[in-house]
């Protein structure tokens, strides 16, 4: 009997493309994966393009007006949209710019002498004031978190989708996995770790290797930052460090007056 392959496409917006690279790094699994799916678009790996796909994996943040039509078209074409990696799920390092004055951001990035500051006829600088997760513009069905993504989690989600099941994505804090592993809490070693408010699923990778969690998987639902700060204070550490640390990966969630460009729930 003919094995009908599911058509899958990969897309990228503002990102370092490291999450797509993680998929390409699945050298031991790729041949097996390709028995079940047909990849019809994946700019990092092939030049073909197609509008005919069932599942779209989208990496990267929305940062400029021309992203909008493109991502809405992807949503329209795909039955299932999966946000791939922290840039897509919650803005990641791109959203650090949201906390700065946009003119300072432009000047710092392109320099004082950049053409668009001198020539009124030049194409206007094409960027939004904020970098946004893709859910600000379209409906997202599933989220694969992390900077970069965890390949085991990618495979779990892909397998679930191919078998018509809902992927079982972790939603408890990093601390849970950390404690299950029997790690000594880094607070007791004088380090500030964001584990209590950050979504697990990475196997508490950083604290298990003696590094504090810096929050790459984004917040748990209803993070209690004040409670975390209280614990940090009780441990004799400086809770003010928390806000600085959260800026690295989680500036979007801390952005006031978030830009939301979604017209309706189906994007
Ligand atoms: S989540 Fe991290 S690794 Fe993935 S594209 Fe964004 S910056 Fe790169
Ligand atoms: S080291 Fe971090 S993740 Fe582990 S228990 Fe302590 S605060 Fe939580
Ligand atoms: S421990 Fe924190 S920073 Fe490290 S991989 Fe997990 S979520 Fe990301």
Cα distance between residue 6 and residue 24, in whole Å: 18
- Pocket of ligand 2, candidates 177, 180, 193, 199: which has the most ligand atoms within 8 Å of its Cβ, to mutate? 193
* Res 114: pLDDT: 61
51 vs 66: which has the higher pLDDT: 51
* Res 149: pLDDT: 97
58 Cβ closer than 6 Å to some ligand 1 atom:
no
pLDDT tens string 189-244: 999 999 999 999 999 999 999 999 999 999 999 999 999 999 999 999 999 999 99
pTM over 0.75: yes
148 Cβ closer than 6 Å to some ligand 1 atom:
yes
111 vs 133: which has the higher pLDDT: 133
């Amino acid at each position: 009997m003919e094995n009908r392959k599911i058509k899958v496409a990969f897309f990228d917006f503002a990102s370092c493309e490291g999450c797509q690279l993680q998929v390409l790094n699945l050298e031991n699994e790729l041949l097996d994966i390709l028995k079940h799916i047909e990849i019809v678009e994946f700019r990092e790996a092939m030049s073909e393009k197609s509008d005919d796909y069932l599942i779209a994996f989208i990496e990267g943040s929305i940062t400029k007006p021309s992203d909008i039509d493109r991502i809405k078209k992807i949503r329209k074409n795909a039955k299932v949209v999966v946000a791939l990696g922290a840039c897509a799920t919650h803005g990641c390092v791109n959203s650090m710019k949201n906390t700065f004055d946009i003119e300072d951001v432009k000047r710092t990035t392109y320099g004082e002498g950049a053409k668009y500051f001198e020539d009124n006829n030049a194409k206007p600088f094409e960027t939004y004031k904020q970098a946004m997760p893709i859910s600000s513009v379209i409906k997202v069905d599933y989220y694969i978190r992390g900077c970069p993504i965890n390949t085991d989690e990618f495979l779990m989600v892909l397998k679930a989708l191919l078998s018509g099941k809902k992927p079982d994505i972790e939603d408890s804090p990093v601390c849970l996995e950390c404690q299950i592993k029997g790690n000594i809490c880094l607070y007791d070693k004088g380090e500030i770790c964001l584990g209590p408010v950050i979504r697990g699923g990475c196997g508490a990778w950083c604290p298990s290797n003696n590094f504090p969690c810096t929050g790459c998987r984004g917040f748990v639902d209803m993070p209690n930052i004040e409670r975390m700060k209280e614990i940090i204070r009780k441990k004799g550490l400086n809770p003010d460090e928390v806000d600085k640390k959260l800026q690295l990966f989680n500036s979007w969630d801390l952005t006031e007056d978030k830009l939301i460009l979604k017209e309706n729930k189906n994007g």
